[in-house]
A and B are shown apart, each in its own frame.
Chain A
């Protein structure tokens, strides 16, 4: 097979696959580095920030098809590192629209590498996930592609397996 020599473009990578294990092996070093240089709160914001920027770049190529919140998150997770989430509507507004939604991830790919669960205290270990989800939900809201007509969302990780929790929980607050 003749080689095409070039530094490459994002399109050359998008749609190709790599083992999730590579990201899982590198993520702990990132978290530890941030904790060495930042407070746990800052480190958590850094993780969210990194994820937000990745999602922003990704959306230059990726055109999500889903129009419901849960399907959209499923589509995102399928693309980034697999996994699935369930949800529970905690609070609704007067128009019966969801205000506060709890997303539960029992099999978070960031928090576990195989059978090993890493415990890092003082930080919600998989906060990066909330950065991804928040940016995506706000992006699609602006695009007007969602069935649920919310203005914006705020997503926060409140429990992480990697930080000693029993499951990973992300709370999503919708604004209309």
Chain B
């Protein structure tokens, strides 16, 4: 049964577990991974008659689906530390990011902030999670290309959508009735001083 809130002991277990999992994990260079995304989009564009938007969208969908498969592979460990409390989602997301990027994830994603639907500062009146991207894994590797071409492709959404997909999988598991809509509200490519991803929670229609 899924607990209502993550307790001190589960947090302690997760903190130890994430380090152990990262230490044992097979790792690769992050730059190679970013280059894989870059070159895959370039290849898709060649195949899709030069349509960069469609190329980026294709990888976006593929990566979101892979993210779900990825999380499913260690859901058995994650289920020890999930809860139905949306306030705990920040902690769970951080554990997930740590499992992918190790301690360096903090250089690329700030703490994920939960904003409740009834928060007066929340104009959308939907539960949402906000994360700032101080440095972008994807943008870092395309600065030598014609970046203006990437401006409206939502290139950063390749990762953002994957995060949304992970969140949705956790919701399915803990039986919270939400779907996740991901929006990249700020982006280096569009001239913002930092990247920002907002994940809006929509109640599932019965």
A residues with a Cβ closer than 8 A to B are 1, 3-10, 12-23, 25-26, 29-30, 33-34, 37-38, 46, 49-50, 53-54, 57-58, 61, 79-82, 109, 114
- 7 contacts across the A-B interface (CB closer than 8 A): A7-B188, A10-B34, A13-B31, A17-B102, A29-B65, A53-B42, A58-B29
A8 → B minimal CB distance (Å): 3
Q: Give the docked Cα–Cα distance between A61 and B169 (Å).
A: 37
B185 → A minimal CB distance (Å): 15
A141 → B minimal CB distance (Å): 22
Cβ-closest 9 pairs across A and B: A8-B140, A3-B134, A29-B62, A7-B188, A7-B139, A25-B66, A13-B31, A17-B27, A16-B30
A5, B135: Cβ atoms closer than 8 Å:
yes
Q: Give the docked Cα–Cα distance between A17 and B31 (Å).
A: 8
A4, B135: Cβ atoms closer than 8 Å:
yes
A109, B104: Cβ atoms closer than 8 Å:
no
A17, B32: Cβ atoms closer than 8 Å:
no
Q: Give the docked Cα–Cα distance between A25 and B73 (Å).
A: 10
B178 → A minimal CB distance (Å): 24
Residues of B close to A21: CB separation below 8 A: 25-26, 70, 73
**B115 on interface, CB distance cutoff 8 Å:** no
Residues of B close to A13: CB separation below 8 A: 29-31, 34, 137, 140-141
A123 → B minimal CB distance (Å): 15
Residues of B close to A7: CB separation below 8 A: 135-136, 139-140, 143, 188-189
Q: Give the docked Cα–Cα distance between A109 and B28 (Å).
A: 11
Residues of B close to A18: CB separation below 8 A: 27-30, 33, 100-102
Residues of A close to B63: CB separation below 8 A: 26
B165 → A minimal CB distance (Å): 12
**Contact size range, B:** 35 or more
Known: A58-B32, A61-B31. A16 touches B104 (CB 8 A): yes
Residue among B42, B100, B143, B193 making CB contact with A9, cutoff 8 Å: B143
A9, B140: Cβ atoms closer than 8 Å:
yes
Residue interface bits B60-89, CB-to-A below 8 A is 1, else 0? 001101110110010000000000000000
B135, A8: Cβ atoms closer than 8 Å:
yes
Q: Give the docked Cα–Cα distance between A46 and B44 (Å).
A: 10
**B107 on interface, CB distance cutoff 8 Å:** yes
B134, A5: Cβ atoms closer than 8 Å:
yes
B101, A17: Cβ atoms closer than 8 Å:
yes
A19, B135: Cβ atoms closer than 8 Å:
no
B93 → A minimal CB distance (Å): 16
Residues of A close to B47: CB separation below 8 A: 34, 37-38, 46
Q: Give the docked Cα–Cα distance between A21 and B67 (Å).
A: 10
Closest residue of chain A to B66, judged by CB? Answer: A25
B26, A81: Cβ atoms closer than 8 Å:
yes
Q: A17-B29, A46-B43, A82-B28 are in contact. List 11 more A-B contacts (CB 8 A).
A: A5-B135, A5-B193, A6-B188, A13-B29, A13-B140, A15-B29, A16-B31, A25-B70, A30-B40, A50-B43, A58-B29
**B92 on interface, CB distance cutoff 8 Å:** no
Residue among A1, A4, A25, A50 making CB contact with B69, cutoff 8 Å: A25
Q: Give the docked Cα–Cα distance between A5 and B187 (Å).
A: 11
A55 → B minimal CB distance (Å): 9
A49, B43: Cβ atoms closer than 8 Å:
yes
